Amino acid sequence: MNIAVPTDVISPSENEYHPLDTVTFFTLTYQEEQRDYSLDELENLGKYRGTGGHLKETGDITGPFEYTGVRILTLLNQLPNPPETYKLVTISNDGYLYTFTYEQIQGDVKVYDTNGNYVGRGDVVMLLAYKEHGDYDFYGGPLRITWVNDNNAVTDAPLWPKYITEIEVIIPSGQDSSLPQVSIEKPENRVYLFDREIMPSSIPLIIGDITIKINAHDEQSNIAKVLVIIDEELKYRGMTPPYQWRWDERTLGMHTLIAKAYDTNGNNADDEIKIWIFNL
């Protein structure tokens, strides 16, 4: 099996048109630098192939499968003056966050055989995969973090976040392991009519559109980003306060609203409420 495919060698199947070829669907962020990529642009960074699977807490193993993608280290080389040490925070389309340490990014993770037996650390490549067995449309895609080599490597399941839409490079500032403080300031347990508070209620009841307001702070580090997630769909990213978003979509019924904040060291916390909304 070829695991390192030269960028100028493209098989016929790899040259097929895909709907995401020219659409921005992935963002790489570092300080004030933000780079957006289409699928075609990611593929042009280089194609790396390998096999890998992941071990669940139950002991079950998914895979190994063959993945094609761009190496994370290759992606980071696109940044001007990348830092010497860093962390990565991956953001999924449902707002799920996962923080990778510098050592993990270099491949220092636990590796198992296909029976789940521990065999050591390292000898794997961290990949932003866009194909599984040559197919763009796979579970966890169109972008997923995978760990591969040429020997059916198996790594821990939490290291495989799926549905990736953004990766942020973070420079750690000290040994901060404390969680940020985040709370949903609006809506509260009130009835709202077109963003105006009318009366108390046992649960937020909203008629019309509303401004979602989030409070977030951290005693040891700065807040890097605040996310608003509704029913597992990421709706808002805020880099600086005030953290607020106008929800003016047509919707009806009960929804789950989550506010998530993470600091400049990759620590994150969230607040969650249930709301009723009628906006026709």
Q: Which CATH number characterizes residue 146's domain?
A: 3.90.420.10
Give the domain-ending residue among 170, 192, 214.
170
Instruction: Say whether both 9 and 58 belong to one domain.
Output: yes
pLDDT tens digits, one per residue of 224-246? 889 999 998 889 989 899 999 99
- Asked whether residue 127 falls in the same domain as residue 25, the answer is yes
Q: Considering only CA atoms, which of 211, 224, 204, 202 is closest in space to residue 274? A: 204
* Mean pLDDT, the chain, integer: 88
One domain for residues 211 and 141:
no
pTM of the model: 0.77
Which pLDDT band, with edges at 50, 70 and 90, does 109 fall under? very high
Interval 267-271 mean pLDDT: 90
Say yes or no: 105 and 185 in one domain: no
| Whether residue 218 is found in the same domain as residue 84 | no
Residue 195 has pLDDT above 60, yes or no: yes
175 inside domain: no
| Cα dihedral: 232, 73, 16, 153 (round 10) | -80
- Amino acid 176: pLDDT: 65
Taking alpha carbons only, the member of 190, 227, 183 closest to residue 205 is: 190
The residue from 119, 150, 170 where one domain ends is 170
Residues facing residue 62 across a β-bridge: 54
Summarize pLDDT for 5-49 with one digit per residue, the tens. 333 333 434 455 555 565 678 999 987 788 999 999 999 998 999
> What is the mean pLDDT of the segment spanning 165-170?
92
pLDDT at 4: 35
| Same-domain status, 57 and 9 | yes
Cα–Cα distance for residue pair 76/159, rounded to 1 Å: 18
Do 248 and 121 lie in a common domain?
no
Pairing of strands 118-121, 210-217: unpaired
Burial class (CB in 10 A: 0-12, 13-18, 19+), 83: middle
- Residue 175 has a pLDDT of 66
d(CA 13, CA 46): 16
Q: Report the share of the chain in percent with pLDDT over 90.
A: 69
Total domain count, the chain: 2
What confidence score (pLDDT) does residue 91 get? 92
Q: Which tops the pLDDT comparison, 94 or 146?
A: 146
135 or 46: which leads in pLDDT? 135
Q: Looking at residue 84, what is its pLDDT?
A: 80
Residue 1 pLDDT class (50, 70, 90 cuts): very low
On whether both 139 and 228 belong to a single domain, the answer is no
Q: What confidence tens digit (pLDDT) does each residue in 69-91 have?
A: 999 999 998 888 777 888 899 99
Can you give the CATH number for the domain in which 190 is found? 2.60.40.10
**Structural domain boundaries, residue 125:** 4-170
Question: Is the domain of 150 the same as that of 28?
Answer: yes
Cβ atoms within 10 Å of 49's Cβ, excluding its own = 20
pLDDT for position 23: 66
Residues 140 and 65 in one domain: yes
Overall average pLDDT of the 158-178 stretch: 86
Among candidate residues 170, 201, 232, the one where a domain is terminated:
170
User: Do residues 113 and 82 both lie within one domain?
Assistant: yes
